[in-house]
C-alpha cells in the first residue's frame, strides 16, 4: 500500500475574465486565480494468485479558490481507479480498467446543471509472442458506452464529450 498526502498552492492560474460583465460574453485570458488544495491518494496492489493481479486507488482532492473560498471549478474531488489483469494462458492476458470520477463543481458564474459523475470501463485482451515474435492487443474503450463529459466553458453548453465505445486492434513486434 502507498499513501500520498499532498498540499499545494497554485498562484496566477490562467482563467478567462469577463470584460463586459455578461457570462459567455467578451473575455480575456488573465493570470487571475489562486488555488489551495489538500488531499490524499491511497493505492493498493494485490496478487491473490500468480496469474491474477489487482490494483486500486482512491484519491480525494479538496481544492478551493483562495479569493472566494469556493470549491475549485471542474476538478474532481474524488476519483477511484481499479485494474484487474488475468494471465489465463502463458501467451494470453485479459484485463479490465475502471475509473470513477466524482464531485466536480462549476464556476460560480456558471448556471448550467451539475457536472455528472461517470464510471468508465476499458477492457483488453493481449497475445504475447502469439506468432513469431509478434504481439496483438484488442482493446475496447468505454465498454458500456457511458455518456461521459469533461467540463467546458459556458459557450460549450453540454461540455466536452469523451469518446463513445471504441475498439482498437494493435499488432507489434520488437526489432
pLDDT above 70 (res 159): yes
pLDDT above 80 (res 20): no
Q: What does the alpha-carbon distance between residue 32 and residue 14 come to, in Å, rounded to a whole number?
A: 6
Long-range contacts of residues 15-18, Cβ cutoff 8 Å, at least 24 apart = 16/153, 18/109
Q: What local confidence, expressed as pLDDT, does residue 23 receive?
A: 61
pLDDT above 70 (res 157): yes
pLDDT above 70 (res 24): no
Q: What local confidence, expressed as pLDDT, does residue 11 receive?
A: 93
Which three cell numbers, joined as nine digits, stand for 131? 506468432
Q: What does the alpha-carbon distance between residue 119 and residue 98 come to, in Å, rounded to a whole number?
A: 7
pLDDT above 90 (res 93): yes
pLDDT above 70 (res 168): yes
The 3-state secondary structure of the chain reads: CEEEEEEEEEEEEEEEEECCCCCCCCEEEEEEEEEEEEEEEEEEEEEEECCEEEEEEEEEEEEEECCCCCECECCCCEEEEEEEEEEEECCEEEEEEEEEEECCECCCCCCCCCCCCEEEEEEEEEEEEEECCEEEEEEEECCCCCCCEECCCCCCCCCEECCCCEEEEEEEECC
Mean pLDDT across 68-92: 94
Q: What does the alpha-carbon distance between residue 70 and residue 129 come to, in Å, rounded to a whole number?
A: 53
Q: What does the alpha-carbon distance between residue 35 and residue 74 come to, in Å, rounded to a whole number?
A: 13
127-147 pLDDT, tens per residue?
999 888 899 999 999 999 999
Q: Each residue of 69-87: b (16+ CB within 10 Å) or e?
A: eebbbbbbbbbebbbebeb
Mean pLDDT across 38-63: 97
pLDDT above 80 (res 19): no
Mean pLDDT across 64-88: 94
Q: What local confidence, expressed as pLDDT, does residue 90 receive?
A: 93
51-64 pLDDT, tens per residue?
999 999 999 999 99
pLDDT above 90 (res 39): yes
Q: What does the alpha-carbon distance between residue 51 and residue 86 come to, in Å, rounded to a whole number?
A: 6
How open is the CA angle 46-173-93, to the nearest 5 degrees?
30
Amino acid at each position: 500500500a502507498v499513501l500520498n498526502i499532498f498540499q499545494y498552492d497554485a498562484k496566477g492560474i490562467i482563467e478567462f475574465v469577463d470584460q463586459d460583465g455578461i457570462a459567455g460574453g467578451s473575455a480575456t485570458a488573465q493570470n487571475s486565480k489562486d488555488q489551495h488544495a489538500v488531499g490524499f491518494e491511497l493505492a493498493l496492489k494485490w496478487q491473490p494468485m500468480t496469474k491474477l493481479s489487482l490494483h486500486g486507488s482512491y484519491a480525494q482532492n479538496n481544492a478551493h479558490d483562495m479569493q472566494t473560498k469556493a470549491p475549485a471549478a471542474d476538478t474532481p474531488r474524488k476519483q477511484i481507479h481499479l485494474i484487474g489483469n488475468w494471465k489465463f494462458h502463458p501467451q494470453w492476458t485479459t484485463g479490465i480498467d475502471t475509473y470513477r470520477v466524482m464531485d466536480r463543481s462549476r464556476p460560480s458564474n456558471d448556471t448550467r446543471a451539475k457536472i455528472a459523475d461517470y464510471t468508465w470501463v476499458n477492457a483488453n485482451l493481449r497475445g504475447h509472442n502469439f506468432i513469431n515474435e509478434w504481439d496483438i492487443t484488442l482493446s475496447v474503450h468505454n465498454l458500456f458506452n457511458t455518456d461521459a463529459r469533461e467540463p467546458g466553458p459556458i459557450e460549450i453548453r453540454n461540455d466536452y464529450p469523451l469518446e463513445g465505445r471504441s475498439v482498437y486492434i494493435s499488432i507489434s513486434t520488437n526489432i
